[in-house]
Structure 1
Amino acid sequence: MALEPPRRPAALAMRPTVAAALFTGQNRSRLMDLVDVDPDLVLEDLHSADARSALADAEVLITGWGCPPIDEPALLAAPRLRAVVHTAGSVKDIVTEACWRRGIQVASAASANAVPVAEYTVAAILFANKQVLNARDDYARLRDQDTDWHARLAVAGNYRRRVGIVGASRIGRRVIALLRGFDLEILLTDPYLHPDEADRLGARLTGLPELFAACDTISIHAPLLPQTAGMITRALLAAMPDGATLINTARGDLIDQHALEEELLSGRLSAVLDVTTPETLPASSPLYTLPNVLLTPHIAGSMGNELQRMAHFALDELECWTKGEPFNDPVYRAALERTA
């Protein structure tokens, strides 16, 4: 009988609480079947004595939220490291230029993490067009009156509304795919996209000014890059139709925060904000209590049992690597120039 090849050595680098949530039950068993790893040793510091010991033999590093940058000193302690499998989305804060210079293969679970963000966005779009926030507040305020709700919510509804998507990213594309089942007109803006590709996605390609002037609901899915910081300007926000809704599940720094607050304080626009600048707003911020704002603490991405989707995705990539097969969804250095 042929002997099974030895499992290749690996190490975990992330917050211990994240590892505990990802690798439970069958996921923990599968992880230990695929690689030689101590699942109870989870590195938050790649320069400690424990880290140097674990990295000395590791051929693959399984990373997640809370992993520090894999810098040159960490790589010197990991002479055999050949791959990084990231259990979350962006690897920009983890995989350094030193990793790319060594030729380390990288995979991430960004596609898996895109799923709940897109679902959150679609729910927000449908609720925004249905005027749910207004209906909630009016219902509470007028609960002792005989109100004609059809007349009061005459502008509500999702039939043939125009929805604007800023960025044909993984999440932006998935949002468009999920919206195809509804009677909506989708406008899309992305400087790297050809109109024919937008047509195939089910959207009409347009520029930012037209999109902001024409759409009832606009959702931001662009990456935060030097050239995109502040891309949603005061002028674009001012061009939005009265009563329109802006949705942001990407990064707060993409939007002129002061201009957005002014528009929201005026009551002219509504917003669904899962991210802001700063990431946690000061307690005095009016956005916490404005009736036309739905503010959430960066929860659109994987939460709770959705972490299991990312774990399954990452373990599939790890299995590919152990078999000598290419990753299903590799991360390439060149692509990071225009992705999150």
Structure 2
Amino acid sequence: MLLVATPSFRSMVFSDESVARLEKLGELVMLDDPGDAEALVDALPETDVLIPSWGATPLTAEVLAHAPRLRLIAYSASSVKHFVTDEVFRRGIRLTQAGQAMARPVAEVSLAFTLMMLHRIHRFDRAMHSGAAWVGAIDTPPQHGITGSRIGVVGASRTGVEYIAMVVALGADVVVYDPYLTEERATELGVRRMDLDELLRTSRVVALHAPTLPETRQMIGTRELALMPDGSALVNTARSWLVDSDALLAELRTGRIDAALDVFDEEPLPLDSPLRGLPNVVLTPHRAAGTVECYLEMGTIVASEIERYVAGSPLQYELTEAGLARMA
């Protein structure tokens, strides 16, 4: 097995227990620089299982020509699109990843944002910190509880499903737009399917959990934002790809709707970004998945998947070529 990760990533993701589990399965070789293609190529000839990490070297045909024994790639984070090529599938190499670990913490942040938007906590906080008078600080759009509020979810992804479970449990009226969501699955989740326009027109909070695909590029633009009711809010912990950022900024400047954003077109978010000065916007620096528990769970998932592979059992989080095409 070849684990390619910086020492800081390894210490954050792979606990002593996870490392011990891997070492029980065979010799574990470690490389410290995921971007060092030459070192990777030198190590691949003896590698059966590759464990890449952030910044992984793209697995092109040229690179994989040096990996005659490689049968499994177990990515220790989420999206593999930046390094997995068609050549991986052409060679019959199996692929799994640890993105499920991120679903719960991202959903928790999306829920926290949802509650802030409904209760206007962000507006109160800004007003109090700015020195506004008491009466002025409470001059906000109406507050709402989550029970009985319609929450619109765009995308029943793994994170979307975790979020849906939370808001359903809290008594929200949850509607979902997702072309791949079946009526049977919607019933299982306790939600109703709805077309995007109607979802936007009728939801107090719209939470985005759709994947990054050509058809989702700026799916929320000027027309869609105009459909949202006065006082409603947009929550995005998924990808800025989903939103026309210029259109969102223009709408937010009117004060008509609120937003909570963890993702941006340009990261780090520029210091002079107009978003920073708006009282109706909550901003976090793309850290929705950044919990200690999330990172350690990624290492646990990798160890479990490789154990399943060695035992000849089905992989829990295997990615196929067709499945990858529908993922963020």
Out of 70, 74, 96, which is 1:85 matched to?
A: 74
For residue 220 of structure 2, give the secondary structure of its aligned residue in structure 1. Answer: coil
Q: Deviations over 1:292-314 (max 9, x none)?
A: 11111111124434200111111
1:240 maps to 2:231: no
**TM score, norm. by length of structure 1:** 0.90
How is 1:100-119 mapped onto 2 (pairs within 5 angstroms)?
Answer: 100-119=89-108
Out of 25, 40, 44, which is 2:34 matched to?
A: 44
Q: Is the 8 A contact 1:252 1:276 kept in 2?
A: yes
Q: 1:22: which partner in 2?
A: 13
Distance 1:282 1:248 in 2: 18
Q: 2:217: which partner in 1?
A: 229
Distance 2:137 2:229 in 1: 25
Q: 2:307: which partner in 1?
A: 319
How is 1:1-340 mapped onto 2 (pairs within 5 angstroms)?
Answer: 10-39=1-30, 41-45=31-35, 47-48=37-38, 50-140=39-129, 145=134, 154-340=142-328
Deviates more, 1:98-107 or 1:280-289: 280-289
Distance 1:280 1:100 in 2: 34
Deviation at 1:148, TM superposition (A): 10
CA 160–291 in structure 1, closer or farther in 2 if over 3 Å, else same: same
Distance 1:74 1:336 in 2: 21
Deviation at 1:53, TM superposition (A): 2.8
Higher RCO by CA contacts (8 Å cutoff, separation 6 or greater): 2
Distance 2:19 2:286 in 1: 27
Deviation at 1:255, TM superposition (A): 0.5
Q: Is the 8 A contact 2:34 2:53 kept in 1?
A: no
CA 146–166 in structure 1, closer or farther in 2 if over 3 Å, else same: closer
Distance 1:72 1:159 in 2: 53
Deviation at 1:122, TM superposition (A): 1.2
Q: Deviations over 1:118-163 (max 9, x none)?
A: 11111111221111112223444577647996x9775332231110
Q: Is the 8 A contact 1:84 1:106 kept in 2?
A: yes
Distance 1:118 1:283 in 2: 27
Distance 2:193 2:276 in 1: 34
Q: Is the 8 A contact 1:135 1:153 kept in 2?
A: no
For residue 180 of structure 1, give the secondary structure of its aligned residue in structure 2. Answer: helix
Deviation at 1:52, TM superposition (A): 2.7
| Structure 1 spans left out of the alignment, 5+ residues | 1-9
CA 145–123 in structure 1, closer or farther in 2 if over 3 Å, else same: closer
Which has more radius of gyration? 1
CA 257–336 in structure 1, closer or farther in 2 if over 3 Å, else same: same
**TM score, norm. by length of structure 2:** 0.93
Distance 2:273 2:123 in 1: 21
Deviation at 1:335, TM superposition (A): 1.1
For residue 151 of structure 2, give the secondary structure of its aligned residue in structure 1. Answer: strand
Q: 1:6: which partner in 2?
A: none
Q: Is the 8 A contact 1:166 1:220 kept in 2?
A: yes
Deviates more, 1:154-163 or 1:230-239: 154-163
